[in-house]
Structure 1
Amino acid sequence: MTQLNTIFYINERPALGVGFILLFSMLNISLGIAQTLQDYQEEAVQNNPELKALQYNLDLSEERINEAGSLPNTTVSAGYFVQEAETRTGAQKARFSAQQMVPLFGVLNAKKDAARQMSLVEMNRLETAKSKLFLSLKRTYYTLYALNAKQQILHERYKLLETYKEIGLTALTANRATAVDILKINIALNEVRNQEEILKGEKLSTQKEFNSLLNRDGFDPVYVVDNLFIPEEEPTMLMEEINNHPELTAYEYQTNVIEAKLKLNNKEALPALGFGLDYVIVQERSDMIVPDNGKDIVMPMVSMSIPLFAKKYRSQSKQFALEQDKVMQQYDAAQNLLENRLERAINERITSRINYNTQQENIEQARQVEQILRTGYTTSQIDFDELLDIQKMILDFEYKKIDAIKQYYIQTAEITYLNVSE
């Protein structure tokens, strides 16, 4: 099973909680339930507030499809005759009216289609945000790995320097070292402690950033793989059409929305038909007897709404055409940007491999130098300056090697985000 390191900042917690945190974390590791990067991605999908907000937007847009398919409101009115209008069959007392406009020529279907296209835009935004969230998680995760690995290197360097100090103290009694050498070793130890404190602060802020993506407490433990290696051979890449990238399909969805709105605008520029009914209450006459005395009046009605002044619709059609042109230009600009990002990510990953191999070779040669120096010290006076210099050089090479590994995996995540199969 892959070994995991737990990143803790117990000095930031209340003292009473330290023991519980350590115990809980040790139980997690021993039971093998530590979270992997894939687990963190699934947790982020469930808890990230930005994704939740976009999911609500998607639900709202889907509900608007039902709203768009409904008829306009029915108009109902009632009136009372203050001065009664006399008719042959009696005086009119009150009038009740109802009217319903009915869009013709497929207006309702056009509205539903426009709402449906807007829903696809929201779905695309959700998928794009999810992909970007995964990329941010990976970047932060591999940054945590690098910080953790550097801390381990510093810990090993500190132990080695303490060994050198013991050797120096022994050599001092035999006049094979000086007090200055011991002071230089102490300075090197102080420098290591200083770097360790700096790393703790960087890890704390990076851990909080990682936990914020999961929408959880910044002090929650983060489990990071203990070792990452760059493969001996560069994986074969199957370049997919970058046109399928969500950031580009977003512009296609926007184009579809504009086309649907243009179609709706043309439909709304056509006449609309209305149907209504008037009901008039008539009071029965008492002064004479006439046929249909007091008979109420029922009057069906038909109306038509004609856009005689269609300048508004013509202007909107021109606006939609201009918006189409704008979206096409934005598409081209975004495509160029993504292609440049992809090329840069591929090149930087290759560079990371080159740096990794170089630093690996440098470390091996530097350790050989260190071994030669230590072997020579058994018969001569110890030159701690050379030992400290070579140790500092090895530390620098180790740091660069860790950074190369981090960059390799970050650029791999970038390539994956840009829709390249490996």
Structure 2
Amino acid sequence: MRIYIMIALLFFASAKVLAQTAKQDVKQYIDFAIANNPELKAMDLKYQQAMEKVSLAKSLPDPSFSAGVFIQSIETRVGAQKAKLSVSQMFPWFGTLGTKEQQASLEAHAIYLKYLDASAKLEMNVSKSWLDLVLTDKKIFFTRKRVEILERLEEQSLKRYESDQTDMVNVLYIQMLKEELISKLDLFKDKRMTQQIAFNTLLNRKLKTEVITPTDESFMISASIPTANIEFDKHNRIESWEHLHESAEFAEKASKLNTFPKIGIGLDYAILAKRKDMDVADNGKDAIMPMISLSIPVFRKKNRAAVKINQLKQAEFKALKVSELNQLQLEYQKALEMYQTGKRDESLYQNLLTKAKQSYEILSSSYESSVKRYEEVLNMQQKIWIYQQKQIEAQIKVQKSLAQMKYLGS
């Protein structure tokens, strides 16, 4: 029995210096996700569409062309009219096209800012998802080791029982602990499969692609909390609403400009036949007539409604900006709380782990075959494993909060 207890002690002493079997830099996962995530691709396509709308907004309406042939010629002094060609171009009121271009450009930039925010959020989600896998793998590793040690202890206890050196209750106690851990191990494995699918979904690759996590402490992505004050007014989520607000202002201006007349210029070209009954000046000479026209917006109700709609949009975007700012501040406070809690837990469980190991050494050195002492040794052994797991959970919590803060500061 003492030999196997010492094996457990050696395991605890060497757990932190295990070699890393395989490691994939999380930065490579992030780059892969940004390049392949379908949601991000869709947002990029949406931005490209918005940029094309800028070209549409500053374009003039299509010119109109018409041609007509007189069934019965109309006689004029210089000849009979045979046909007439007309071409015209309408122009909106001065400044209208530039205003619409500004509106479309601001809308496109707002979409681009949302794309940048989605990219930063994807980076955060990939980091968090990867950390979830790291934590579950750590739990699986520790649980397997605990089962292995309990199996050795069970074997040794059975031998001692057969030789009347211990009670059957000691054997049963070890078996109960082992069965509980085997059940937990199965739960962790199921959970890991779900987490792996979630991770691969972010990367848009085969859902069952294996993800290797480090076995040492190299899972630490960030070192410390950002010291610089985060300016939420400059965050992409806030600036996006600001650009939409400005876009609505230009849309309102464009709606007002639509209440002014549209100006059209054109040209009529009349084809004349020569007179045969007499010879006159400019006989048969085709006629050219420049024209100007106005499109008068008599029915202004629709324009007034458009102005009102854009004024309401401005109020909406302003309210959403304030709401978004409040949400960012809340998210930062939650991340800060998680960071501080993780740091406290990390320190707490490091202290408890040190004391538990000292207690375990004392108990194991004074081990007796009594049931009470036997349970105390095993319970202390369980506490050491639990504290190791809790310490890693605290470290993962700190890393997740730092990933959140990095996103909020982007």
| Interval of TM-score (by shorter of Structure 1 and Structure 2) | 0.7 to 0.9
- What does residue 366 of structure 2 align with? 376
* Structure 1 equivalent of residue 396 of structure 2: 406
User: Alpha-carbon deviation of 1:286?
Assistant: 4.1
1:254 matches 2:244: yes
Kindly provide the amino acid, as one letter, of the partner of residue 135 in structure 1.
M
Which secondary structure state, in structure 1, belongs to the residue aligned with residue 212 of structure 2? strand
Tell me the CA shift for residue 356 of structure 1.
1.7
Deviation per CA, 1:306-345: give whole Å up to 9, x if none.
2233333233222222221222111112111211221121
How far apart, CA to CA, are the structure 2 residues paired with 1:345 and 1:331? 21
Per the TM alignment, residue 74 of structure 1 is displaced from its structure 2 partner at its CA by: 0.7
Q: TM-score normalised to the size of structure 1?
A: 0.85
Question: Deviation of residue 103 (structure 1)?
Answer: 2.8
1:205 offset after TM fit, Å?
A: 1.1
Deviations 1:121-150 (A, max 9, x none): 121011011011011111101111100111
Of 24, 28, 39, which residue of structure 2 is paired with 1:35? 24
Q: Which residue in 2 is equivalent to 1:176?
A: 165
> Post-superposition shift, 1:224?
2.3
The residue aligned with 2:379 is: 389
* Corresponding residue number in structure 1 for 2:6: none
Does residue 358 of structure 1 match 2:372? Answer: no
Mapped contact 2:80–2:275 kept (Cα < 8 A) = yes
Contact 1:151 1:196 in 2 (8 A): yes
Structure 1: how far apart are the matches of 2:167 and 2:47?
74
What SS does structure 2 have at the residue aligned with 1:152? helix
What is the match of residue 198 of structure 2?
Answer: 209
Contact 2:117 2:237 in 1 (8 A): yes
Query: Cα gap change, 1:251/1:307 in structure 2, threshold over 3 Å: closer, same or farther?
Result: same
Cα root mean square deviation, aligned: 2.5
- Which of the residues 125, 129, 133 maps onto 2:118? 129
The question of 1:333 aligning with 2:323 is answered: yes
Between stretches 200-209 and 256-265, larger displacement belongs to 256-265
> Hey, what's the Cα distance between the residues in 2 that align with 1:99 and 1:276?
4
3-state SS of 1:237 partner? coil
Indicate the larger mover: 204-213 or 165-174: 165-174
- For 2:268, the equivalent position in structure 1 comes to 278
Aligned 1:88-237 pairs, distance under 5 A? 88-228=77-217, 235=225, 237=227
Shift of 1:87: 2.9
What's the counterpart of residue 17 of structure 1? none
User: What SS is found at the alignment partner of 2:105?
Assistant: helix
Out of 41, 44, 49, which is 1:55 matched to? Answer: 44
CA shift in 2, pair 1:379/1:183, >3 Å: closer
Q: Distance in 2 between matches of 1:165 and 1:210?
A: 38
Contact 1:3–1:226, Cα closer than 8 Å, also in 2: yes
The change in CA–CA distance for 1:127 and 1:4 in structure 2 (over 3 A counts) is farther
**Distance in 2 (alpha carbons) for counterparts of 1:54 and 1:178:** 68
TM-score in terms of structure 2 length: 0.87
1:73 is matched with: 62
Per the alignment, do residues 308 and 327 of structure 1 end up closer, same or farther by CA in structure 2, a change over 3 Å counting? same
Q: Which moved more, 1:142-151 or 1:159-168?
A: 159-168
- Deviation per residue, 1:342-369 (Å, 9 max, x gap): 1121122111111122222222333333
State the distance in 1 between where 2:349 and 2:326 align.
34
Could you list the runs of 5+ residues in structure 2 that have no partner in the other structure? 1-17
Per-residue displacement from partner, 1:248-301 (whole Å, max 9, x unpaired)?
A: 111111111112212222333222221111122223344555444433222111
Q: Deviations over 1:81-105 (max 9, x none)?
A: 2333333333322221110112341
Secondary structure of the corresponding residue to residue 238 of structure 1: coil
Given that 1:117 and 1:260 are in contact with CA atoms closer than 8 Å, whether structure 2 keeps it comes out as: no
Q: CA deviation at 1:210?
A: 0.8
Rate the CA distance shift 1:301–1:183 in 2: closer, same or farther, 3 A.
Answer: same
CA offsets 1:134-172 (integer angstroms, 9 cap, x no match):
111111011111001111111221121122113212321
Q: How many residues align?
A: 391
CA distance in 1, matches of 2:273, 2:115: 64
% of aligned pairs identical? Answer: 30
